[in-house]
Structure 1
Amino acid sequence: MSEEFEIRNKVAESGLVNFDLTDLVPKGIRKGIDLKDFLFQEMILKEKDFREKVAAIDTEEYEGAYIYIYNSADAIVPLWAYFLLTAKLTDAAKKIVFGDREDLEVILMHNAIQTHDFEELRGKRVLVKGCSDKEIPENAYIELVEQLKPLVKSLMFGEACSNVPIVKN
């Protein structure tokens, strides 16, 4: 084939580095624990009953899991109850948070971004992938920009064929 009609991949030649935030999503099972299941008639915390139910938890079920603790009942639960439940599960779980599944994902992504070494992107033209099959919390994108802005030559969002320039250093 002549050089005149050679097919070239201009994206590959551009030195653009694709970064997919889904690569940072921690792998593992997510499990929710609803405190209403530990309450008398799903609305009253009786200390003795609560302690017995917590003691009866099979921690193997939560081994290596990311756990979110929430309360779907319209009941006031004292803070020590969260302490007690967390103390029971800490040795088995990878992470325990208070809140819903979305809160858990925000915290997991925060930890992943804060501990990731982005040095390999220093001085590079970086394109953060815009579409994903996994749901990424919006806050993760904000934190990613905070981490990358001082490092990269340029930062873009989207796909190679249609990206949005964000930062040019």
Structure 2
Amino acid sequence: MSEEFEIKNKVANSGLVNFDITDLYPKGKRMGIDIKDFLWEGMILKEKDFREKIANIDAELYNDAYVYIYCSEDVIIPLWAYFLITSKITDAAKKVIFGNREDLEVLLMHNAIQTYDFSELRDKRVLVKGCSDESIPNNAYVELVEQLKPLVKSLMFGEACSNVPIFKN
């Protein structure tokens, strides 16, 4: 084949580094604990009953899980109640937070981005992949830009064939 008809992959030769944020996404099961299930008639926290129900939790159910504790009812829950639940499962779970599933995902991605070593991207032209099979919180993309802006030569978002330039240093 002559050189004038040679097919060249311009994207591969561009020096563009593809970064897939889902590579940072912590793998593992997510589980919620609804405090409502530990309340008397789903409405009132009776300390003795509450403590008994917490004592009967099988902590192994939460082994290596990311757990979020919430209450689906609009009731007053004393802070010590969260202490009791957390102390029961914290040795088994990977992470325990107060909040909903979305809060958990935001925190997990925050921790992943803050602890990742981005030095391999220094002075590179970086393209952050736009599509993902995982549901990545929007805040993760904001934090990613904060981490990358001082390091990379340029940042783009999307796909190689159709990207949005974000900045150039």
Under TM normalisation by the shorter chain, which class is it?
A: over 0.9
- Residue aligning to 1:98: 98
Cα displacement string for residues 41-96 of structure 1 (whole angstroms, at most 9, x for unaligned residues): 00000000000101110011001000000100121100010011111111011001
Equivalent position amino acid for 1:167 in 2: F
Name the amino acid aligned to 1:113: I
Computed over aligned residues only, the root mean square deviation of the Cα atoms, in angstroms, reads 0.5
TM-superposed CA distance for 1:19, in Å, is 0.3
- 1:167 counterpart SS class: strand
CA distance in 2, matches of 1:60, 1:88: 10
Cα distance, 1:13 vs structure 2: 0.2
User: How many Å separate the matches in 1 of 2:7 and 2:104?
Assistant: 46
**3-state secondary structure, aligned to 2:68:** strand
The aligned amino acid for 2:55 is: A
User: Which portions of structure 1, spanning 4 or more consecutive aligned residues, are displaced by more than 2 angstroms?
Assistant: none
Give SS of 1:10's match: coil
1:154 aligned partner: 154
Q: Which residue of 2 aligns with 1:76?
A: 76
Pair 1:52 & 2:52 matched? yes
What is the TM-score normalised by the length of structure 2? 0.99
Question: TM-score, normalising length from structure 1?
Answer: 0.99
* Alignment: residue pair count: 169
For 1:73 and 1:52, locate their aligned partners in 2 and report how far apart those are by CA, in whole Å: 20
Q: Could you tell me how far 1:167 is from its partner in structure 2?
A: 1.3
What percentage of residue pairs aligned between the two structures are identical? 79
